[in-house]
Structure 1
Amino acid sequence: RSGTLTRTLLQTPGTAQILSIAVHPDGQRIAIGFSNYIQLRDLRTNRPLHNLAANASVSQLLNFSPDGRHFVNTDWLGDRLRVWRL
């Protein structure tokens, strides 16, 4: 393994910052947490699948369930947990 960059998936528009990521168990999808929304993307095509409303305008904690059927997110404060069916 060389540690060589193989591709760039996303360049954020304007001042948007990627704050967190999670990879789906199938390895084909990724969740990207921005300050006010979460984007699910297809890694094969590099196209967005869904934009989900964020809990708050702070960093997101993201994770997929082990079976890949659900997605969860919360903010750093941890006062709300959202579960999404995929």
Structure 2
Amino acid sequence: MKCVISVLGKDRSGIVAAVATTLAQCNANIDDISQTILGDDEIFSMTMLVTLDPETAGFNEVQQQLEQCGQALGVQVIIQREDVFQFMYKI
């Protein structure tokens, strides 16, 4: 199952590592990743395209793990199924 993950918050060390570790623990594969630091306020923004392995960890479990990771980091982490994401942003 393909999913889009968005991470947004104040930049700090370890965000990419923590999110990637959480995904690895769920046996998810990172297919693509893009990150940037926005403006002088150092707002961290990252978008990932990942493939989940539902036999290891389903969408809801991965979502819960990412929410806990985001809370620990003080950032917002949102995961959406790719088909839902594509539908939401289709013109």
TM-score by length of 1: 0.36
* Larger helix share, 1 or 2: 2
Identify the structure with bigger relative contact order (alpha carbons < 8 Å, sequence gap 6+): 2
TM-score by length of 2: 0.34
